[in-house]
Amino acid sequence: MLTAMGIIVVPLGLYWFVRLNTRKLLYLFAVVTPFTAATIIEFKGSLFGMAPAFFVSLLLMGAFFIRCLTGTSRIRICGLQKYCYLGFLFTWLHSLLTLLLPLILVLAGSDYILFNPAFNDQDYSGEIPAYTVTQFIYFTLFMVTSFIVANETEELGIAKRCVSILMKVTIFSIVWGIITYVLSFFGGLYPEWLFNNHPGYSHGFDQRIAILRRISSIAQEPSVYGYFLTIMITMVMVFNVLEFYPLKPATQKTLLFIMIITAILTTSTTAFLGIFIAIVLTLLVALASRRLGRALRYLAAQIGIMAVLFAGVFLTVINRLDLDLAGIVRGINELTVEKLQSESGVERSWSFFHGIQVLIDTYFMGSGFASNRTFDLGSTLLANTGIIGLSLFVVAFVIVILFPALHLVKYRCNDDISKIMAGLVTALITALILMFVSVPDFVNMYFWLILGMLMGVTGIKNNASLLRA
């Protein structure tokens, strides 16, 4: 049975697929990527669900390949993009080969224990868990989708439109999140059947820390929503400092302010770290583009307004409601000082060192793609694909990030292409840093959308440079 989102997304997607309109499918893909906790179809009693972004990505791939076969579209690869593609191709090939590692390790007499909290089970050496093949297929889907996004991002206007769509969906997610957040204080029922209905995921829309409620909106749980928000915070913050406005200037500046407040309401340490990373990266971009003074004044004004707002709300609430102040202080303490000693912190620490132990027990080759899952990407990659796999992954993303970074330093962000490159590259860096800290999965499609747009815009910039030459 189609869900509420499915009733909208499926007919639209199929209509544009039949018309082979890859441009419209790309825009629809940008719309649905933040809805990570939703499904377009449900089967009673089944854990199967298809996220809207997965469905649209399959349609986009199908339409693109049909257009290529019929000659109405072509694969465009500029000089710089081919190095990006080669980096990811080597990463993909190595990941494929690691699926055979369990058999090799059995012959070598290696003994290790796999842990995967996402599946609530353990597998031992000598076995190839079925989900490793499934996860590799997903990984392949992500990469191909990202390459197609890069190929379809042939003009600056397309990239700008996708970014604008992401911002507008972010506004929707904030409004929806705040509405449900306020309703929860009055005992309102959470309408999870709309955007938090994927039967294969564990949903955390009712989470609390001490007496502090957490906001998760259209994501699986608050930390995932905080991860998405901080990626967008970095992008919008850089755009605002560079005076690049896919939305109206007043709307875009207000959006940043509200995003930061909403990220704080997730009470996620991932979000707090992400906001700090966003500020640091924005200042680095401002320094490279000779806008440091403007950036400092802008950020100081944002922080000052938020401080006054929080102080006013806090004092008003204290005077009108009988709050457990000790509970609030205890919750803040759990989020900061006692984070590592909390149940979550202890579990994450144990998981990290277990991943390192798997790496050692498998002679530094890894136990096979997606076989062991920790709570951060670095130790997950090491445990699964070994030192070689982690190195290839890092090199692939360094290649993608390097040209925009060098271009930013050289040309000071004096044109729209450079400005959008700066926003995309800093958003991608934020996502990667947070993944290596607390987000071990590739499943968030907005990550691959941003990666694809960055590779596409890099191609546009490279072609423009060649024309000038």
pLDDT score recorded for residue 123:
56
The whole-angstrom separation of Cα 38 and Cα 6 is: 9
Question: What whole-number distance in Å separates Cα of residue 145 and Cα of residue 351?
Answer: 31
How many Å apart are CA 223 and CA 267, to the nearest integer? 8
Do 294 and 286 form a contact (C-beta atoms < 8 A)?
yes
- Is the per-residue pLDDT at 416 higher than 60? yes
Residue written as token pair 């694969």 = 75
- The vertex-161 CA angle with 305 and 60, nearest 5°, equals 130
Question: Residue 193 burial (CB < 10 Å; 0-12/13-18/19+)?
Answer: exposed
pLDDT digits (tens, 9 = 90+) for 302-353: 888 777 776 665 555 455 445 555 555 555 555 555 555 556 667 778 888 9
> Which band of pLDDT confidence, cut at 50, 70 and 90, is reported for residue 468?
very low
Structure tokens at 265: 């309401």
Q: Rounded CA gap, 198 and 401, in Å?
A: 33
Across residues 76-93, what is the average pLDDT? 90
Closest CA to 145 of 28, 26, 51: 26
Closest among 426, 425, 423, 417 to 457, alpha carbons compared: 417
Distance from first CA to last CA of the chain, Å, rounded?
Answer: 56
Phi, psi of 209 (to 5 degrees): -120, 115
**Averaged pLDDT of the chain:** 86
